[in-house]
Amino acid sequence: MTTLEIRDLHATVGGTEILRGIDLTVSSGEVHAVMGPNGAGKSTLSAVVMGKPGYTVTSGAVTLDGVDVLAMPPWERAVAGLHLVMQYPTEVPGVQLHDVMSEAFAARGRSVDGLDELLRAEAGRINFDERFLDRALNVDLSGGEKKRNETLQLAMLRPRIAILDELDSGLDIDALRDCARRVEDLSNEAADSDHPEGGHGSLGVLIITHYSRVLSELPPDHVHILVKGRIVASGGPELADRLDAEGYTAFAPEEDLKVETGDDHAKPVERPGSLDDLFAL
Amino acid sequence: MPTLTAATPLPTTDEEIWRYSRIGELDLDRFTPTAADTDVRGGAGIEIDHAATGDALDVIGRLTGDAAPDVFAALNLEHASPTLITVPAGRVVEQPVVVTHMVRGSDEAVFPRLVIDAGADSEITVVEVFTSEPDSTSLVVPVVQIRAGQAARVRYLAVNELGERVWSIGHQQALGERDSQLLVATVALGGDYARVRTDVRLSGAGASAKQVALYFAGGTQMHDFRTIQDHDAPHTHSDLLFKGAVQDHSRSVYTGLIKIREHARGTAAFQTNRNLTLSEGAWAESVPNLEIETNDVKCSHASTVGPIDEEQRFYLESRGVPPSVAERLVVLGFFDEVLSQLPAGDLATDLRARVAAKLSIGDDPR
């Protein structure tokens, strides 16, 4: 049993406070959704927990089973069991998935014997074309293929807690379904699973999303509404239904829902024609 | 012992093509002209001549009427240790010819001169390797001249594996005749100050040239590249990709010129130079230039100098890869685009390993 605890987390980007006191607890086997409008601090939350450069934590704590995560560099957080599925997976020219997985396994003290077989097996489970296994990371992949690639790595690395940052942006419903199903399986997997890394217990999941579409594919146990760097409401899945029916205005005054700069500065420009547009609230 | 003297004074950094160079540190008097120690492998069935003299050694000058482009090219002609490879029309040479120069001793000056004269519709790959005794303090002034006859396919790769006290001032000249295809590639890892000037002139309609280079300097090394893509005929195509990295206190310079002459309509020319600065104390300069005398052209150039991309490093770190390993992967990935275009595939694997071995990132324990 693993627990990620976020306590009164405050963080700034370029001197602007984006997170203004976040409290969240995610344990093995649980699926939490953090929903919020643009500028609420969603991507900042995932970046800060993973340790992305450019964000400053001004107060609060993040711990994994009581161990201070904020004191660790990003790679140690990953080895400790945190994983971030990125909204816009970075293209890394000339670097093969196999080489990254092999180094990531080595950092975890895992044997790389059978790595290729495992890659092919995991690729098959989420309909990730084996041809793409030999491509440079995320280079010349469609939005859906990039998210399959992210999910493949998640399944390969067997983290304890996974943060999915806007899993459903830029991908079609088939890809979303394949990725969501794999994450759901991992979150339901028993602790005595016969996977070589079994024993960690089931995956704890933190979904960060603007839209509820992903939640119909990956149903959460807990839903939290994030507005202006604070969680303004927490509850069960019914909270997402209420949000769908009433919009964010049901949870926060109009002026708090205006998009501000800061949270978006590190993100690429939203691609035109993104499926998100169809699901805009 | 006779020392080296030049007919004309050495250039200075006031000349644009020598700007940023270390030419001011060169003292020719220090060096004794010495015959190059050259070994040739492969090329069965074609003529390889080490005794050629005169016009045969200046195939470019003979065809273009141009004089030796600078004092070093002139010195090379004067003291040349020649290797003349003549490929008859229509002949396809399957295996690469490998020409290796071993630089020995202290304060010697060697002048390897390689001429590849490829007849119409012939095909050949030549790899020229410059290597030295590790503590050699000699000077290498190599010249390669390549003529690709009509519809010939010529691939050339120079590999600089010289010791870190050797100076090298090299010149590559290639001439592409009608419908020919040229690949002129350089991998530079060695040398103290190592300069290569590359002039590729497309003189026949439909000729195309690809130029690639990988250079990686460390310690106090300096790599210096000057390129000229000269379009001297209509419907010619050139594509250049030079990628370099500097670490420790090393330096690099790239200056490139795309020259499109008035009658070279329907021409396409591309030039890309990318540089990674891997240490605070390292320095890289990139200066692209265009000189276009006609309108009907497609032309672009791009150049970048900067550290390893932070997003790429973070992406790999977020998978649990330690920073030094992540940086190594990113740097090797950066060079992969050049390595994958080198003419001799087996050699590319070996060169990749050499680049990896030279990287000082991650020398500290994890």
* CB within 8 Å of B344: residues ≥ 6 apart: B96, B125, B127, B157
Mean pLDDT of the region B280-301: 93
Q: Give residue ranges of B with CB < 8 Å to any A CB.
A: 310-312, 314-323, 325-326, 329-330, 332-337
What pLDDT, on a 0 to 100 scale, did the predictor assign at position A273?
39
Residues of B in contact with A99 (CB under 8 A): 329
Q: Which residue of A has its CA nearest to B324?
A: A75
pLDDT, greater one: B7 or B118: B118
What is d(CA B192, CA B22) in angstroms, rounded to the nearest whole number? 10
Residues of B in contact with A92 (CB under 8 A): 312, 315-316, 329-330, 333
- Mutation choice for B interface testing from A49, A95, A102 by most B CBs within 10 A: A95
Confidence of residue A79 (pLDDT cuts 50, 70, 90): very high
What pLDDT, on a 0 to 100 scale, did the predictor assign at position A194?
52
Residue A115, burial from CB neighbour count under 10 angstroms (0-12, 13-18, 19+): middle
Dihedral angle at the C-alpha atoms of A252, A256, A262, A265, nearest 10 degrees?
Answer: 70
CB nearest A75 (choices: B322, B332, B333)? B322
Asked whether the beta carbons of A148 and A133 are under 8 A apart, the reply is no
The packing angle between helices A143-157 and A115-125, to 10°, is 130
Dihedral angle at the C-alpha atoms of B336, B337, B341, B345, nearest 10 degrees?
Answer: 10
Angle of CA points A118, A121, A123, to nearest 5°: 105
| Whether A103 and B321 lie within 8 Å, measured CB to CB | yes
Q: How far is B310 from chain A (nearest CA, A)?
A: 8
Half-sphere exposure (CA, 13 Å, Cβ side) for B246? Answer: 23
* Number of domains within chain A: 1
| Whether B337 and A89 lie within 8 Å, measured CB to CB | no
What is d(CA A240, CA A222) in angstroms, rounded to the nearest whole number? 9
* Chain A to chain B Cβ contacts (< 8 Å): 82
Please tell me what DSSP assigns to residue B30.
Answer: G
Confidence of residue B1 (pLDDT cuts 50, 70, 90): low
- For the record, the structure tokens of B362 come out as 């991650």
Mean pLDDT of the region A197-220: 86
Q: How far is B200 from chain A (nearest CA, A)?
A: 28
| Whether B323 and A92 lie within 8 Å, measured CB to CB | no
Mean pLDDT of the region B178-189: 98
Q: How far is B325 from chain A (nearest CA, A)?
A: 8
Share of chain A above pLDDT 70, in %: 88
| Whether B320 and A137 lie within 8 Å, measured CB to CB | no
Nearest to B113 by CA among B52, B188, B44: B52
What pLDDT, on a 0 to 100 scale, did the predictor assign at position B363?
62
- What was the ipTM of the complex prediction? 0.90
What pLDDT, on a 0 to 100 scale, did the predictor assign at position A266?
46
The string of DSSP codes covering B245-276 is: EE-TT-EEEEEEEEEE-TT-TTEEEEEEEEEE
Asked whether the beta carbons of A274 and A142 are under 8 A apart, the reply is no
Q: Which domain holds residue A39?
A: 3-279
Q: Which residue of B has its CA nearest to A106?
A: B321
- For the record, the structure tokens of B364 come out as 């500290």
Half-sphere exposure (CA, 13 Å, Cβ side) for A185? Answer: 16
Q: Which value, in Å, is the radius of gyration of the alpha carbons in chain A? A: 18
Looking at the DSSP bridge assignments, the partners of residue B169 are: B195
Share of chain B above pLDDT 70, in %: 98
Mean pLDDT of the region A117-133: 95
**How far, rounded to the nearest angstrom, does the alpha carbon of residue B13 sit from its chain's CA centroid?**
21
Which phi and psi (to 5°) does residue A110 adopt?
Answer: -90, 145
Lowest-confidence pick of A261-265, B284-288, B304-308: A261-265
Residues of A in contact with B312 (CB under 8 A): 90-92, 95
Which phi and psi (to 5°) does residue B210 adopt?
Answer: -120, 130
Q: How far is A251 from chain B (nearest CA, A)?
A: 33
Residues of A in contact with B335 (CB under 8 A): 94
| Whether A157 and B320 lie within 8 Å, measured CB to CB | yes
* Average confidence score pLDDT of chain B: 94
The structure tokens 């904020």 sit at: A70
Q: What is the largest CA-CA distance in chain B?
A: 62
- Mutation choice for A interface testing from B321, B327, B341 by most A CBs within 10 A: B321
CATH at A133: 3.40.50.300
pLDDT at residue A211 above 90? no
What is d(CA B199, CA B238) in angstroms, rounded to the nearest whole number? 12
Residues of B in contact with A53 (CB under 8 A): 310, 314
Please tell me what DSSP assigns to residue B15.
Answer: S
Q: Is B329 helix (H, G, I), strand (E, B) or coil?
A: helix
Residues of B in contact with A79 (CB under 8 A): 320
pLDDT at residue A70 above 50? yes
What is d(CA B164, CA B170) in angstroms, rounded to the nearest whole number? 16
What pLDDT, on a 0 to 100 scale, did the predictor assign at position A260?
53
- A88 residue type, one letter: Y
Residues of B in contact with A139 (CB under 8 A): none
CB nearest A74 (choices: B317, B336, B337)? B317
The packing angle between helices B323-339 and B310-317, to 10°, is 120
pLDDT at residue A137 above 90? yes
What pLDDT, on a 0 to 100 scale, did the predictor assign at position B276?
98
Asked whether the beta carbons of A210 and A35 are under 8 A apart, the reply is yes
What is d(CA A173, CA A179) in angstroms, rounded to the nearest whole number? 10
The structure tokens 């079609």 sit at: A172
pLDDT at residue B355 above 90? yes
Q: Give residue ranges of A with CB < 8 Å to any B CB.
A: 50, 52-53, 73-75, 78-79, 83-84, 86, 89-95, 99-101, 103-104, 107-108, 136-137, 153, 157
The string of DSSP codes covering chain A is: --EEEEEEEEEEETTEEEEEEEEEEEETT-EEEEE--TTSSHHHHHHHHHT-TT-EEEEEEEEETTEESTTS-HHHHHHHTEEEE-SSPPPEEEEEHHHHHHHHHHHTT---TTHHHHHHHHHHHTT--GGGGGSEETTT--HHHHHHHHHHHHHHH--SEEEEESTTTT--HHHHHHHHHHHHHHHH--TT-SSTTTTS-SPEEEEEESSSHHHHHS--SEEEEEETTEEEEEESTHHHHHHHHH-GGGTS-GGGGS--SSTTTTSPPPPTT-GGGGG--
Q: Is B325 helix (H, G, I), strand (E, B) or coil?
A: helix
What is d(CA A166, CA A264) in angstroms, rounded to the nearest whole number? 13
**How far, rounded to the nearest angstrom, does the alpha carbon of residue A218 sit from its chain's CA centroid?**
13
